[in-house]
A and B are shown apart, each in its own frame.
Chain A
């Protein structure tokens, strides 16, 4: 009897001793798995650029839904389409005051102008999520990628990682700066089975809400049954491993501001080998960032330390 216990005991110590290594292996094999194609009941939105008329009603609806700050110009002011940044190379982007913006493209094209709404695309395997060391992001079963400001340490890795340049940072808020981005109206609507505010408000039904699986079929059917109308591609079906928000267009996607050089598998793949060592690093990094974060926030800390916090940001 004692022999059996001894064997059991020995076995368990071997397991315990090897647990760190085992955790690493299992993490690695999980990441090596062929990509997880998103949750089966994930919802999504199909944006049909051929329907959008650039009325900006979606922007107004989002602003109201989330009690966002007053815009610089009224939402019915269409002069915003002429705004450019970085010597005219950059059109409007999402900011800490706007989860979504509409831009105008292809003014000179035969079918133009074409308008394109941007917001978080709610990737199936979000780079913002995988880049975040403290798990501030979550992909919900409904398909939304949501962010928790309470655990965020303000490192802004997600802003760098997002292939669509979506997360913004509320630099203006001195006390509680946080990442700002479209949340698919998760708290106010999606989790209660309601469509997003922008979708509901769009007069042209340029935004179609439904199960992502169904929307993929709908998108291909629109292409198939309207020969010559659309580019034969559903943007977001496979880009970066698939996104919940997908797009149809009548002009080549690169002419309407889409990045068509993105890989068709998750961004995560690039960092797989790196992520293999994350479990070890995880123990240290959050503490480090949290330390910097607290230093940056604490008014009474010495200048030298605050600077250290700043440099990390």
Chain B
């Protein structure tokens, strides 16, 4: 009986931790975020959230209208200047991993009144935010500055030990 109770509690605690980020009840931002969705080509990218907190004093630069000093983009502000924050601060709660799956395309098209039909997937959201800001701010912006390539990645790009021998110009078109 006692052990059953413990398991129930453990279950509740576990549920809380799983559900908490989704409900946006996390008050403390994570110090860093590990992103491994491209792990077939690169080792995990560890995003230093703390470092980026010190770079800007306005969370809404990245988090739309979840936190921060108000909506950054004018077109968003038209509706969201007074609105409550988004339901979550986690990129992956809105930006899906497979934006071009049949299911997702159908879901986006199912409601003809839907306004947000042009939402990027998770990979796009990361890169458009991270890369574009890095490039604009003069921060490191070569692929390799964030991504350490794996052996499979080298093979994919025909680079490193898989680089072609010789190397003549491409693009001949007779």
Residue positions of A touching B, CB distance < 8 A = 51, 53, 55, 57, 60-61, 63-64, 70-77, 80, 83, 85, 90-95, 97-98, 101, 165, 168-169, 171, 193-195, 199-200, 202-205, 208-211, 214, 217-218, 221-222, 225-226
Contacts and interface: CB of A to CB of B under 8 A. Distances in A.
A76 B157 contact: yes
B159 to A, nearest CB: 4
Contacts, number: 112
B118 interface: yes
Interface stretch (B48-56, B59-67, B163-171): B163-171
Given A193-B101, A203-B124, 18 more contacts: A71-B158, A72-B167, A74-B159, A74-B162, A75-B157, A76-B157, A95-B171, A171-B174, A193-B102, A203-B127, A203-B131, A205-B125, A205-B128, A208-B100, A211-B109, A214-B109, A221-B118, A222-B118
Nearest to A196: B100
Secondary structure class of chain B's binding surface, majority of residues = loop
B156 A60 contact: yes
A73 B127 contact: no
Contacts of B123: 203, 205
13 contacts: A55-B143, A72-B166, A76-B159, A85-B173, A93-B171, A95-B171, A95-B172, A199-B100, A203-B127, A205-B99, A205-B125, A205-B128, A209-B105
Q: What 8 A-B pairs have minimum CB-CB distances, sorted nearest first?
A: A205-B124, A92-B171, A195-B100, A74-B159, A93-B173, A209-B100, A193-B102, A203-B127
Interface centre among B108, B123, B128, B169 (most CB of A within 10 A): B169
Contacts of A165: 173
Interface string B93-113: 000000111100100110000
B120 A205 contact: yes
B121 interface: yes
Contacts of B173: 85, 90, 93-95, 165, 168
Interface string B53-79: 000000000000000000000010000
Contacts of A171: 174
The bracket for how many chain B residues form the interface is: 35 or more
Given A60-B157, A74-B164, A200-B100, A95 B170 contact: yes
Given A70-B158, A75-B159, A95-B172, A204 B100 contact: no
A209 B118 CA distance: 11
B117 A226 contact: no
Contact of A74 (B105, B163, B168, B174): B163
Contact of B169 (A83, A202, A210): A83
